[in-house]
Structure 1
């Protein structure tokens, strides 16, 4: 897109949002209507068209999450998977070291977790390993199935599982995984601090059995807080821990025990897989998979021409214009994700492995942060540009976890006049007459804001937020960054850019509701670098023994959601749906959790992808 075109789109975006915010029309679809339409997915097409003609809005409830299977499947065949991104993938291709979603999209085809989970995010006995717990719930005994082997034919062992814990707990480990899930293992702190050569709480019973003892028995232990990804010791065992993540064994020749094997990699661009005939669930139907990076601006063309059969994601702002694409079936779910605005409130102490709040940060005043939340109209953004397939977010536990999402909490509502009043009362005044407010001390206030590049509306959307903050008298400067550079600057490697004040990010949340991995004091992914004693207390209570009482845990997480609304280290902008087009020749594909449909079952009904008419 040219600079001129971006300028036009930006102006249109801001104009439309301004009109939406000023409108008194109450006819727009509400969040409740989006969530509770209850439309049968089989009849979605007609109703979607009718709804689009009425108000341009769609409902995620009108989609199925499973691809219909029509026709006879071929033996073999190859599909092409589009990794939708405007930048090259980083290529850290091991679950123990990766940090970005693009790499996870590559990993899913050739490696996997030992455990699977059901639709309620609880571990099942259907994975590559099964488990038993002691009477008091503190000791888990895992048994790896006998036919689970690495791609080179070596068996996946209990030693590999222990080795993954030893590497992640090692002081020289440079990945993002070490945190509360690991420090809850008996003996992990002593091992991490160099006081012990082994992790006393992990015991190898035999080649295929591992036992882990936990310090605190929590409900999270069966919903995602156990590390279930082994590391092949026969490959990495003689390697220095500090060298592992950048090694050829991670970057160029990765291995796993999943349904497909990596055959070739073009760094940052594509991956070719062949089927793993020895896969533990059974031989895959397909002969292979080709993964290639597809730009968001060209994904529609790739789908229409059959250049890709499946995609990692689809820009929902492009859905209305392509809802009738004839060669695909649209799947949809409420995503375990949200977008958000984050405020840099401190830094990361790599030696201590914890957040260090800084009261002198530019956005340290909660009044400033609250005003910035009041200033933006996320409902207008969602309706005008995501057509109801994203919607205004209110708290940091998304509706993908309905038991814990507090739908009664309104968050901070759009009210620019209230935002101005808050700033006035906090002493942020325009003392120079240039239209922008100075600090309460009378000093110039320039807020540096970073956002990621992406599809057509990425930059216009970021500029809308800038304009909204300009409208309440704040001088905000925008820096658009590609994915890897963006996360480097916000601190994914522990090095926070001190010039960055505010950023727009997105989180895909885990199957476990516990938000400690994103907002805990010891979480590297706590990019705002926020910490408080009350936050510590609530996060600890959420995974305490008392939290086995579901009602108690709900209450704790409602309190935590309210604390985040009050202290605003970040504020959520939009909850998200995921809409995924699948070529009509594809069978046995589903999106979401607990579907019981696995990648080795994928099949095709024709040699070539079907092309749009």
Structure 2
């Protein structure tokens, strides 16, 4: 009898009910482990993948990686361009069911500004009244130009019009915080069971060297539109390991793709291979707080000129990379096209000859000082290793300079860079925090301590950037930004290498994935089909 019922009725019941009740689980590789899930303190992209799931600011990213309204329902700007008034949506809630209010933003932004927090993004508050004075310890955080007029009205007062301010509000550093949980748990407020967030997901598990698990937030205002129930993020530094896990069906998306597997994936995994340019630059940074780099610009220039960027972009990496002639990526983002220095239009043979000449003028080589032995610190990655092996070979072949490669975990490299604790040269990458040249050029400011990896300082540069960012005329602003970037490039404090094309594998079952310059595809817009 039971068997007859199953055949006649049960099978139909299974077919009808299983899709509605089956949990939709998304498994992704995120490369490195997050540095922290604290939005105020986080700096690296692998953490941002998760934080964008857990939190929302006044704005967040849409399915195409563009800014969209989130907690902000609307805003008004005063005629003088200095006062923003944001109306917050009434249905925004924290994952414990309590309302998200303007006071939550005031609390979070004051914490960001507080020098005791030591946020790498403290400079994000500088446009606000007293922002810079607070981060330098000259004024209290309570004097920051942000005010809760009522639960759903946030007023922000800037010292002067700032062309990039609105764009910056999509960044995780400016997301709100749940004050009660932070004050109750202190620095452990990001632990599972402690973390109260306001995004599409909540934190369920965080197992070091294993995984981070997120589950849907039932109090999220758009919860009904969120298809994926559970997100597992796996930190996998080894790109070959990540590649194998995808092929074995253990991942639905990878963070990247090993260079050696690009051609194979293009031919054999056509439905899964996805590539697109990102708003990013890979570069080498000289430590200008150390000798011989601090006082020898000709030595820095010689090493910069000897690197064949076309070879690195097209042969060492391949897959559509672009050689980098500027720090800000090309493409007329926000109406800005970066400058190119005269030497970038020479042949590589001409650059090599100039490099040898500058090395001799710097006092190195026959009849001069012994050639320096350069240590390059880079993060653990097959692609990073191949790039730096190629750089070392070029320096040895063309200039006779010996290079030692030192690889460390990505989070370790980021911390060492921020502290200027690397010996000679650091290999790093920067992905724009928002679609504006200032997101890159701000890193060369004298008063940006942590993310200014070379420790570059120039009063003229700072002045040009300040003048640019109060300009309301886009053409004049772009002209001033280009002058500032030219100064920074001429210093040879960094060596730009290439602009990245992100190549990864995405399961054909994962719908809604859109390659975009910010390189973020938020889980809430994705869906897994059978």
Instruction: Please tell me the TM-score bracket, short chain as reference.
Output: 0.7 to 0.9
**Counterpart position of 2:108:** 164
Query: Residue 305 of structure 1 is aligned with which of 243, 248, 251?
Result: 248
For 2:458 and 2:86, the matched residues in 1 are separated by 36
After TM superposition, the structure 1 = structure 2 runs for residues 351-370 of structure 1, keeping only pairs within 5 Å, are 360-370=291-301
Query: Residue 529 of structure 2 is aligned with which of 586, 605, 611?
Result: 605
1:78 equivalent in alignment to 2:24: yes
Change (3 A) 1:230 1:484: same
After TM superposition, the structure 1 = structure 2 runs for residues 187-586 of structure 1, keeping only pairs within 5 Å, are 187-189=130-132, 191-192=134-135, 193=137, 195-196=139-140, 198-199=142-143, 201-224=145-168, 228-237=174-183, 244=186, 247-252=187-192, 253-283=194-224, 284-294=226-236, 295-326=238-269, 328-346=271-289, 360-402=291-333, 403-406=335-338, 409=341, 412=344, 414=348, 415-431=351-367, 442=369, 445-455=372-382, 457-471=383-397, 472-491=399-418, 495-497=419-421, 500-511=423-434, 512-514=436-438, 515-523=440-448, 524-544=450-470, 547-586=471-510
TM-score, reference length from structure 1: 0.75
Please report how far the alpha carbon of residue 148 of structure 1 lies from its aligned counterpart in structure 2 after TM superposition: 1.0
Change (3 A) 1:480 1:171: closer
Q: Is the 8 A contact 1:260 1:275 kept in 2?
A: yes
Q: Is the 8 A contact 1:345 1:569 kept in 2?
A: yes
Please report how far the alpha carbon of residue 220 of structure 1 lies from its aligned counterpart in structure 2 after TM superposition: 1.0
**Counterpart position of 1:108:** 52
Please report how far the alpha carbon of residue 388 of structure 1 lies from its aligned counterpart in structure 2 after TM superposition: 4.0
TM-score, reference length from structure 2: 0.86
For 1:316 and 1:557, the matched residues in 2 are separated by 34
For 2:374 and 2:519, the matched residues in 1 are separated by 45
For 1:268 and 1:465, the matched residues in 2 are separated by 31
After TM superposition, the structure 1 = structure 2 runs for residues 179-194 of structure 1, keeping only pairs within 5 Å, are 179=123, 181-189=124-132, 191-192=134-135, 193=137
Between stretches 274-283 and 196-205, larger displacement belongs to 196-205
Please report how far the alpha carbon of residue 190 of structure 1 lies from its aligned counterpart in structure 2 after TM superposition: 5.3
Structure 2: stretches of 5+ with no match in the other structure: 1-17
For 2:370 and 2:455, the matched residues in 1 are separated by 25
Please report how far the alpha carbon of residue 139 of structure 1 lies from its aligned counterpart in structure 2 after TM superposition: 0.5
Please report how far the alpha carbon of residue 345 of structure 1 lies from its aligned counterpart in structure 2 after TM superposition: 0.7
- After superposition, give the CA deviation of every residue in 1:129-182 in whole Å (9 maximum; x if it has no partner): 432111211001112211111111111111110001121222311221211x31
Give 3-state SS (helix, strand or coil) of 1:237's partner: helix
- Give the helix-richer structure, 1 or 2: 2
Q: Is the 8 A contact 1:447 1:475 kept in 2?
A: yes
Please report how far the alpha carbon of residue 599 of structure 1 lies from its aligned counterpart in structure 2 after TM superposition: 3.2
Give 3-state SS (helix, strand or coil) of 1:308's partner: coil
Q: Is the 8 A contact 1:148 1:279 kept in 2?
A: yes
Q: Is the 8 A contact 1:589 1:599 kept in 2?
A: no
Query: Residue 83 of structure 2 is aligned with which of 136, 139, 142?
Result: 139
Please report how far the alpha carbon of residue 251 of structure 1 lies from its aligned counterpart in structure 2 after TM superposition: 4.2
Q: Is the 8 A contact 2:445 2:457 kept in 1?
A: yes
Between stretches 597-606 and 476-485, larger displacement belongs to 597-606
For 1:287 and 1:143, the matched residues in 2 are separated by 30
Q: Is the 8 A contact 1:91 1:251 kept in 2?
A: no
After TM superposition, the structure 1 = structure 2 runs for residues 26-65 of structure 1, keeping only pairs within 5 Å, are none
For 1:562 and 1:575, the matched residues in 2 are separated by 18
Change (3 A) 1:209 1:593: farther
For 1:120 and 1:569, the matched residues in 2 are separated by 34
Greater relative CO, 1 or 2 (CA 8 Å, sep 6+): 1
Change (3 A) 1:430 1:474: farther
Structure 1: stretches of 5+ with no match in the other structure: 1-72, 347-357, 432-437, 607-613
Q: Is the 8 A contact 1:129 1:143 kept in 2?
A: yes
Please report how far the alpha carbon of residue 536 of structure 1 lies from its aligned counterpart in structure 2 after TM superposition: 1.1
Q: Once superposed, what is the RMSD of the aligned Cα atoms?
A: 2.9
1:591 equivalent in alignment to 2:495: no
Between stretches 107-116 and 122-131, larger displacement belongs to 122-131
